[in-house]
Amino acid sequence: MYKIQRKEEKALKVEIRADDSVHIEGYVNVCERESRPVATPYGKVNEVIAEGTFQRAVDSADEVGLMVDHERLIGSTKTGLELSEDAIGLRAELDTSDEEVVEAAKAGKIKGWSFGFRKAVDSLEQRAEKLPLRRITELVLDEVSLIINKNPCYSATSVEVRADGDIDVEQRAYVETTVEVTDRTTTTAYDDGSVYTRKVHNENVVEETSGVIDYTEFDNRLAALRRV
C-alpha cells in the first residue's frame, strides 16, 4: 500500500502572531524516501533514513538543540521544541520570539529545515547504474536547524571530520520544502463578523542556480585522510 502525502501536509508552516512571536511546524526530514545525492563518509551516495530511526533518536536524547543555520542556538527540546516521528517523518513544532527568526518570517526568508547527527548505524548497497544507497537505521540527533541565510542544497552536503579521521557531525537538509506563511498581525475584522488574515504561500523556496553541487572540497578532505 502506498502512502499518499499531499504537498501541503509536508509544508513548513509559519504563523506570525500579534505578540511578535512566530509558531513554526513541519517536517525536518521524510523517512523511507531516497534522497538526492549527498556527501557522506562513503563519498557521494543517495540516502534513506529508515522508519523509526528518528523516534528512537528523540527518545534516547537528553536534549536536542534548535539552531539557526547550524550556527546559533535559540532553544531546545527542554525549552519548548517538540519533535516526534509520524507516518511521514520527523516533525517539529516550536514557538519563538527570536528576533532573527521573526524578521525572517516576516520577510519570507525561512527556507526550510536541516538537522545535525552523529554515530550513524548504516549499511551501503552498491548499485550498477546509480550511486550507492546508504540506509541509516540508528543515529544520534544533536540539533535541528531553521535555514535562513544558507542554501539548503549545500547544508545537505556537510560532513565534519575530526583530525583523527573519525566523522564528527553530518548535516542534512530537507530541500523540497514548501513554506506556507500566515501573518496574523494583518488580521482584519469586518462588521458581519468575518475575519480576513493575509496568507502567503512561498513555493519552491530552494535556490538551485546550477543544479550541480560542488563536492570538490569534501572529496579533497577525504582523499587527504586516506593518505594519513
Over residues 64-87, the pLDDT tens digits come to: 999 999 999 999 999 999 999 999
Query: H or E stretch including 189?
Result: strand 179-189
Q: Give a yes or no: residue 2 inside a domain.
A: no
Q: Band the pLDDT of 185: cuts 50, 70, 90.
A: confident
Domain of 45, in residue numbers: 7-227
56 backbone dihedrals φ, ψ, rounded to 5°: -65, -40
Percentage with pLDDT > 90 across the chain: 51
| Pairwise CA distance, residues 57 & 54, whole Å | 5
**The total number of structural domains that make up the chain:** 1
At 175 the pLDDT is: 57
Q: Band the pLDDT of 207: cuts 50, 70, 90.
A: very low
| Pairwise CA distance, residues 186 & 199, whole Å | 10
| Pairwise CA distance, residues 108 & 101, whole Å | 10
Q: Give a yes or no: residue 178 inside a domain.
A: yes
Q: Residue 86, exposed/middle/buried by CB under 10 A (0-12, 13-18, 19+)?
A: exposed
Q: Give a yes or no: residue 125 inside a domain.
A: yes
* DSSP 8-state assignment for residue 7: G
Q: Give a yes or no: residue 105 inside a domain.
A: yes
Contacts of 202 (CB under 8 A, 6+ apart): 108, 178, 179, 180, 181
Q: Give a yes or no: residue 162 inside a domain.
A: yes
Q: Which of 1-15, 29-43, 180-194, 210-224 has the lowest mean pLDDT?
A: 210-224
Q: What is the pTM of this model?
A: 0.76
**For all residues of the chain together, what is the average pLDDT?**
78
Higher pLDDT, 213 or 101: 101
Q: Give a yes or no: residue 60 inside a domain.
A: yes
CA 15 from chain center: how many Å? 18
**Distance (Å) of CA 123 to CA 49, 126, 183:** 11, 10, 44
